């Protein structure tokens, strides 16, 4: 049959073009489904945390045994903003535990946090009446690859280059990005910012903004009547994959997003938006148009944990010890193999989430090329270039970083780090 080609709209062309998140998800999904030999250090898939999965199975059995409840769950569409009982329980929990002045009207469920960002970004940036254009400000690049291509139009983000600190001295090979607030203020002074957005912990680096940094961003946003979007896919109050103290934060101009994915439930596709009422309502309206309603299963599965408050304990008790131990073990392999290979390397401080962000100085090839060479040796990573979108000036550092998910089978991670050391050594000579 002759190949057919159809003309796509401008937005259609942009959304269906090659994107970093498409290749990441495609590589990861294929490797997980079809290639057991691939060492999976790419993607943001959570690990199977045995104690957590035991709880999920127990809950699933309860749901199956509850015949009318099970039927309601499978045979009903929820309202687009989410299941009313779930929304009430979550609002009560957040009021009770953190004193946030919110009710169910401030909440909206989405099919994963990823959909929430598509809705929020396109609500708050793009073309506005009177020919004005607005952008999303990312106060700290590198930032989550999954945002990069979500704008319905190009040039959607403005990002700020961070300062680099060496908290334990250079010899420790641990660096940390800090927000350059002067750069953030300069970006805000452009007058075309629609919202500020940041992930905490940050994907890809595992950086956790301090409470003081969050408060300062919140003040800057409030002073300009802008929403501050805090992406809490890994952090507080849940799932709580945090290795340093970090207070959960919400304020009347803050949009806080949560997700069940990193609790170990990415298959349920459950995102949660906590926002000023008009924004929560708009997210519900978008859900109705795009998908009618959200999946019910994630909400029903965790409902008793929300009602009892148990959901707040799962991170500190089950997830943190698991991921922190995997991170420490992988950092020890990094020291062993990267030093032995004679590399000039450093890892970003691992304060939460489940990634190592490797800085390879003197790399003679792009990290995309390094990624390809590693993939050919059955090690899947994510090249750093994808995370530096929105920066105006070129910055050599953006071509020197690689993200590794350290949370999966330890032996695959060990071999992966060893092969990274070998390939990086060939590429730095
Ligand atoms: C920082 C961050 N935000 C949002 C998401 C979206 O996750 P989900 O759609 O599974 O909730 C991810 C997934 O990896 C992420 O890392």
Among protein residues, the one whose CA lies closest to atom 1 of ligand 1: 203
Shortest-distance Cα residue to atom 3 of ligand 1: 233
| Distance from Cα 198 to the centre of ligand 1, integer Å | 12
* Nearest ligand 1 atom to alpha carbon 353: 16
Region 307-326: mean pLDDT is 97
Nearest to 208 by CA among 348, 112, 324, 315: 348
Tens digit of each residue's pLDDT (9 = 90 or more) over 184-234: 999 999 999 999 999 999 999 999 999 999 999 999 999 999 999 999 999
Among 114, 150, 351, the mutation site with the greatest number of ligand 1 atoms within 8 A of its Cβ is: 114
78-310 under CATH 3.40.640.10, yes or no: yes
From ligand 1's centre to the CA of 210, what distance in Å?
Answer: 20
* DSSP letter assigned to residue 310: T
What are the sequence ranges of the domains in the chain?
Answer: 13-52+315-428, 78-310
Cα 233 to averaged position of ligand 1 atoms, centre (Å): 6
Instruction: Classify 202 as helix, strand or coil.
Output: coil
Sign of CA dihedral 86, 87, 88, 90: positive
Name the nearest CA neighbour of 47 among 322, 378, 286.
Answer: 322
Q: Which of 42, 45, 46 is nearest to 24 (CA)?
A: 42
The predicted pLDDT at position 363 comes to 93
Q: Which residues, including other chains, have CB under 8 Å from residue 281's CB and lie 6 or more apart?
A: 81, 105, 108
Instruction: Provide, rounded to the nearest whole percent, the portion of the chain with pLDDT above 90.
Output: 87
pLDDT for position 68:
87
State the Cα–Cα distance between residues 287 and 1, nearest whole angstrom.
38
Residue 288 has pLDDT above 80, yes or no: yes
Work out the pLDDT band at 387, boundaries 50, 70, 90.
Answer: very high
Cis ω for the linkage preceding 37 (within 30 of 0): no
pLDDT of residue 347: 98
Most informative mutation of 120, 143, 144, 234 for ligand 1 (most atoms within 8 A of CB): 144
pLDDT at 2: 72
Nearest-angstrom CA–CA distance, 424 and 374: 9
Residue nearest to atom 12 of ligand 1 (CA): 233
The DSSP annotation for 328-361 comes to: HHHHHHHHHHHHHTT--EEEE---BSSEEEEEET
269 backbone φψ class: left, alpha, beta (φ>0; ψ -120 to 50)? left
Q: How confident is residue 16, by pLDDT bands cut at 50, 70 and 90? A: confident
CB 354 within 8 A of CB 395: no
Residue with the smallest CA separation from ligand 1 atom 2 is 233
- Average pLDDT score, the chain: 95
User: What separation in Å is there between the alpha carbon of 426 and the centre of ligand 1?
Assistant: 33
Instruction: Write the DSSP assignment of 368-427 as a string of letters.
Output: HHHHHHHHHTTEE-EEGGGG-TT-SS--GGGGSEEEEE--S-HHHHHHHHHHHHHHHHHH
Rounded Cα distance between 72 and 60, Å, is: 15
Looking at residue 399, its pLDDT comes to: 94
CATH of domain 13-52+315-428: 3.90.1150.10
Pairing label, strands 401-405, 355-360: antiparallel
Does pLDDT of 24 surpass 80?
no
Distance 190 CA to ligand 1 centre (A): 29
∠ CA 177-143-295 to the nearest 5 degrees?
135
What's the average model confidence in pLDDT over 29-46?
Answer: 86
Give pLDDT, residue 23: 75
What mean pLDDT do residues 257-266 have?
Answer: 97
Residue of 113, 140, 273 to test ligand 1 pocket, by largest number of atoms within 8 Å of CB: 113
pLDDT tens-digit map of 113-155: 999 999 999 999 999 999 999 999 999 999 999 999 999 988 9
Split at pLDDT 50, 70, 90, the class of 383 is very high
Quick check: 1 pLDDT over 90?
A: no
Q: Which residue bears the tokens 């919400």?
A: 250
Give mean pLDDT, residues 399-426.
97
In the reported structure, the alpha carbon of residue 67 is separated from the centroid of ligand 1 by a whole-number distance in angstroms of: 32
Q: Which residues contact 320 (CB under 8 A, 6 or more apart)?
A: 240, 241, 242, 243
Residues with CB under 6 A from ligand 1: 44, 112-114, 144, 146, 199, 203, 231, 233, 259, 261, 266, 271
pLDDT band (50, 70, 90) for residue 26? confident
- pLDDT value of residue 304: 97
What's the pLDDT at 21?
77
pLDDT tens for 61-115 read: 999 999 988 998 999 999 999 999 999 999 999 999 999 999 999 999 999 999 9
* Ligand 1 pocket test target in 116, 149, 203 with most atoms within 8 Å of CB: 203
Q: How confident is the model at residue 32 (pLDDT cuts 50, 70, 90)?
A: confident
Count the Cβ atoms, other than its own, within 10 Å of residue 269: 19
Rounded to whole angstroms, what are the CA distances from 129 to 132, 156, 397? 6, 17, 38
Closest by CA to 389, choosing from 149, 199, 79, 41, is 149
Q: Provide the 8-state DSSP code for 19.
A: -
> What are the pLDDT digits (tens) for 168-192?
998 899 999 999 999 999 999 999 9
pLDDT of residue 116: 98
Q: Which helix (H) or strand (E) holds 94?
A: helix 84-98
How high is the pLDDT of residue 299?
Answer: 97
Secondary structure (3-state) at 246: coil
The pLDDT of residue 177: 97
């Amino acid at each position: 049959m002759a190949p057919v080609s159809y003309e796509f709209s401008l937005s259609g062309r942009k959304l269906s073009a090659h994107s970093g998140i498409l290749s990441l998800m495609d590589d990861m999904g294929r490797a997980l489904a079809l290639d057991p030999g691939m060492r999976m250090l790419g993607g943001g898939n959570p690990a199977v945390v045995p104690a957590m999965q035991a709880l999920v199975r127990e809950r699933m059995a309860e749901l199956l045994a509850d015949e009318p409840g099970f039927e309601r769950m499978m045979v009903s569409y929820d309202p687009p903003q989410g299941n009313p009982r779930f929304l009430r329980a979550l609002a009560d929990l957040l009021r009770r535990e953190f004193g946030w002045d919110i009710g169910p009207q401030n909440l909206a469920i989405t099919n994963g946090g990823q959909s929430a960002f598509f809705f929020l970004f396109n609500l708050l940036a793009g073309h506005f009446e009177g020919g004005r254009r607005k952008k999303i400000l990312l106060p700290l690049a590198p930032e989550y690859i999954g945002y990069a291509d979500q704008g319905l139009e190009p040039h959607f983000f403005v990002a700020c280059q961070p300062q680099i600190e060496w908290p334990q001295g250079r010899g420790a090979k641990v660096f940390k990005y800090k927000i350059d607030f002067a750069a953030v203020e300069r970006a805000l002074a452009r007058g075309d910012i629609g919202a500020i957005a940041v992930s905490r912990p940050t994907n890809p680096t595992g950086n956790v903004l301090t409470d003081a940094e969050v408060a300062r961003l919140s003040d800057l946003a409030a002073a300009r009547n802008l929403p501050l979007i805090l992406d809490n896919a890994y952090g507080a109050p849940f799932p709580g994959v945090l290795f340093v103290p970090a207070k959960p934060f919400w304020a009347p101009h803050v949009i806080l997003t949560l997700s069940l994915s990193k609790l170990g439930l990415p298959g349920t596709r459950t995102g949660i938006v906590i926002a000023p009422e008009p924004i929560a309502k708009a997210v519900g309206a978008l859900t109705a148009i795009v998908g009618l309603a959200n999946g019910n299963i994630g909400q029903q599965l965790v409902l008793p944990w929300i009602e009892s408050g148990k959901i707040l304990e799962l991170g500190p008790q089950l997830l943190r010890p698991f991921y922190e131990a995997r991170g420490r073990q992988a950092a020890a392999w990094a020291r062993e193999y990267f030093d032995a290979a004679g590399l000039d390397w450093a890892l970003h401080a691992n304060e939460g989430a489940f990634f190592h962000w490797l800085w390879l100085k003197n790399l003679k090839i792009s990290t995309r090329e390094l990624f390809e060479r590693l993939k050919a040796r059955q090690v899947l990573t994510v090249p750093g270039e994808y995370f530096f979108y929105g920066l105006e000036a070129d910055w050599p550092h953006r071509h020197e970083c690689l993200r590794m998910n350290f949370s999966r089978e330890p032996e695959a991670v060990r071999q992966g780090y060893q092969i990274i050391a070998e390939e990086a050594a060939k590429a730095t000579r």
